[in-house]
């Protein structure tokens, strides 16, 4: 079944009496004063317990972590926040992030106070690798926090290992990698899947266009979904798994990994997968390079894209 909503075409979920439909609102967010867009973005997006929306921005007049009200108004920046939080989440009332350029794992209070700062090189010394040039092969990209407070960090642009720490930052273990059974090729971001009992860890295997599952102690469990479009980020709401895809789309999967909805699909190949799409070509029913996704408390989706100008979208649930 296809449904036209406010001029936007989506594939709606089947098999339920109250199937959700989604409407993109690309004008929902008001950037900082004097800016037409939020600024050069290669980051993530999260929602605080108060419902405020945090988004990481790497360039422009308000680089760092910008904070927006629930109704989309720019409020402030987080003081002292890194400008290269490639992946971050809000959990336990704190910001957990990975700094892509410095290769640090950082935990901050929402007001910007740093409570934990771990150097990847120092903390995972046995797994930290360098090329013959001396440049690090390790390049951490995403983070997740388990119900017991354990911290998981994925080396998505490097070795493709996932590293586990306790809540105090003590290194515990590494698993994953490029060898079987994981065979990762860009384990870009991760999420704790609390829909599963016990909870498990999901990882985007971006270049293989799939999502893999593993136990919280690193045992491979299998493939959750395939045939995606460069999956880059994930978020969970009730039984749904939202997957942000760098190749111009957001896909909603049900608990069994089946497609329930596709949103903003862009089939113009030269517009997706990069940060080059200019505001002049942006369409209200299309995504270009989705890099971060999250849900608010009502199940609306909030999306940020890999884009040199910066693009945020609210996807309203109806």
- Cβ proximity of 303 and 45 under 8 Å: yes
Tell me the whole-structure pTM to 2 decimals: 0.92
Instruction: Provide the number of structural domains found in the chain.
Output: 1
- Cβ proximity of 155 and 171 under 8 Å: no
Q: H/E/C letters for each residue in 28-56?
A: CCECCCCCCCCCCECCCEEECCCCCEEEE
Helix and strand totals (H; E) in the chain: 1, 26
Residue range(s) defining the domain that contains residue 178? 2-317
252 pairs with which residues across the strands?
A: 242, 261
- Cβ proximity of 304 and 315 under 8 Å: no
Which pLDDT score is estimated for 70? 98
- Cβ proximity of 98 and 55 under 8 Å: no
Hey, what are 200's tokens?
């498990």
What strands, in cross-sheet order, belong to the sheet with 85-91?
85-91, 94-99, 104-109, 114-119
Cα–Cα nearest to 36, from 316, 315, 308: 308
Quickly tell me which residue has 């479009």 as its tokens.
229
8-11 and 22-25 strand pairing: unpaired
Which pLDDT score is estimated for 16? 38
Q: How far apart are CA 164 and CA 244, in angstroms?
A: 24
Cα distances from 54 to residues 4, 105, 293, 299, in angstroms, run 30, 18, 11, 16
Q: What is the CATH number of the domain that holds 143?
A: 2.120.10.30
Which pLDDT score is estimated for 36? 97
Q: How far apart are CA 72 and CA 80, in angstroms?
A: 22
Q: How far apart are CA 74 and CA 154, in angstroms?
A: 30
236 Ramachandran zone, left/alpha/beta (phi>0; psi -120 to 50): beta
Is the preceding peptide bond at 128 cis, omega within 30 degrees of 0?
no
From first to last of its 318 residues, what are the pLDDT tens digits of the chain? 333 343 333 444 334 335 679 999 999 999 999 999 999 999 999 999 999 999 999 999 999 999 999 999 999 999 999 999 999 999 999 999 999 989 999 999 999 999 999 998 887 755 555 545 555 578 999 999 999 999 999 999 988 999 999 999 999 999 999 999 999 999 999 999 999 999 999 999 999 999 999 999 999 999 999 999 999 999 999 999 999 999 999 999 999 999 999 999 999 999 999 999 999 999 999 999 999 999 999 999 999 999 999 999 999 998
In Å, how far from its chain's centre is CA 49? Answer: 18
Hey, what are 265's tokens?
């699909």
Q: How far apart are CA 276 and CA 35, in angstroms?
A: 18
| Environment class of 246 (CB within 10 Å of its CB; exposed 0-12, middle 13-18, buried 19+) | buried
Phi, psi of 234 (to 5 degrees): -140, 155
Which pLDDT score is estimated for 136? 58
Which pLDDT score is estimated for 128? 52
């Amino acid at each position: 079944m296809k449904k036209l909503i406010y001029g936007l075409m989506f594939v709606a979920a089947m098999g339920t009496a109250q199937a959700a439909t989604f409407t993109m609102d690309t004008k929902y967010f008001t950037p900082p004063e004097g800016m037409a867009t939020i600024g050069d973005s290669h980051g993530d997006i999260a929602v605080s317990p108060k419902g405020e929306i945090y988004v990481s921005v790497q360039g422009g007049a308000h680089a760092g972590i910008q904070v927006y009200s629930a109704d989309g108004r720019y409020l402030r920046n987080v003081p002292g926040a890194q400008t290269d939080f490639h992946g971050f989440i809000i959990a336990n009332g704190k910001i957990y992030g990975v700094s892509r350029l410095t290769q640090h794992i950082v935990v901050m209070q929402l007001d910007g106070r740093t409570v934990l700062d771990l150097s990847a090189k120092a903390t995972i010394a046995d797994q930290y690798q360098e090329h013959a040039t001396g440049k690090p092969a390790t390049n951490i990209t995403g983070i997740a926090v388990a119900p017991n407070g354990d911290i998981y960090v994925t080396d998505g642009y490097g070795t493709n290992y996932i590293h586990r720490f306790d809540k105090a930052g003590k290194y515990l273990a590494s698993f994953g990698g490029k060898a079987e059974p994981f065979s990762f090729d860009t384990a870009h971001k991760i999420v704790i899947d609390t829909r599963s009992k016990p909870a498990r860890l999901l990882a985007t295997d971006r270049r293989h266009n799939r999502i893999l599952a593993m136990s919280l102690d690193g045992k491979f469990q299998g493939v959750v979904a395939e045939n995606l479009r460069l999956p880059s980020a994930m978020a969970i709401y009730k039984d749904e798994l939202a997957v942000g895809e760098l190749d111009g789309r957001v896909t909603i999967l049900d608990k069994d990994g089946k497609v329930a909805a596709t949103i903003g699909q862009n089939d113009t190949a030269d517009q997706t997968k990069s940060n080059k799409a200019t505001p002049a070509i942006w369409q209200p029913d299309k995504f270009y390079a989705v890099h971060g996704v999250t849900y608010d408390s009502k199940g609306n989706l909030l999306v940020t894209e890999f884009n040199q100008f910066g693009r945020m979208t609210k996807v309203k649930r109806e």
